[in-house]
Amino acid sequence: MKKIIGLVGTNSDFSTNRQLLQFMEKHFQDKIDMELVEINNLPLFNKPADRKIPEEAQEIADKIVDADGVIISTPEYDQSITAALSSALSWLSYGIYPFVDKPVMITGASYGTLGSSRAQMHLRQVLDAPELQARIMPSSEFLLSHSLQAFDEDLNLKDPEQVERLEELLEDFLTFIDISKQLNHSHNLNKREAENFSWEEI
């Protein structure tokens, strides 16, 4: 059974993106070993000169390294990801590089109609940055719109078509993880490139 990290892409106390990951954790418990990881204890990224990162960031990085893949669920604020998620990803690419070649699936929930589509597009750009170099599953959007009305009192998704869509994407992600394990010939080089990359030297 594959180990999956479900990264909650917000520091909000109430989030339908957290609910979405909680649903996935329960619904897919016979297929994956999923652990939800929060970013709400991380401080705002401040690029410390000594490159010392918070203990909380290192703990998250260690979990990602040990996992077979990561599912990130992001809300959309001002057509982008949250400041908290952006800051978390900055910590997770500052002297540590857990995302290099790590299979990632992106999901998102929003109160409106678009289901975090623009935030997901932005997140793909961020995860493709030289310091992150995540291996993002292509052609795979799960957009949960009107998310305040999407769950019942037991945090189950009400719409069976949405559940079916999520099931199909999860199966694709598990296959994507298997394929990604075979694409490991340049992993050490990719990690060195991430470690040595500097915007100041461009």
pLDDT digits (tens, 9 = 90+) for 3-58: 999 999 999 999 999 999 999 999 999 999 999 999 999 999 999 988 899 999 99
Find out whether 24 and 170 touch, Cβ atoms under 8 Å. yes
Q: Characterize 91-112 residue by residue with b for buried, 16 or more Cβ atoms within 10 angstroms of its Cβ, and e for exposed.
A: bbbbbbbbbbbbbbbbbbbbee
**Among 76, 64, 73, which Cα is nearest to 100's?**
64
Query: Length of the chain, please?
Result: 202
Rounded-to-integer distance, Cα 101 and Cα 184, Å: 8
Helix (H) / strand (E) containing 64: helix 55-66
* CA atoms lying within 13 Å on the CB side of residue 174: 13
Find out whether 126 and 89 touch, Cβ atoms under 8 Å. yes
Residues with Cβ within 8 Å of residue 170, at least 6 apart in sequence: 24, 28, 31, 32, 105
pLDDT digits (tens, 9 = 90+) for 94-105: 999 999 999 999
Q: Residue 200: its pLDDT value, please?
A: 65
The full set of domains in the chain, from first to last, is 2-196 (3.40.50.360)
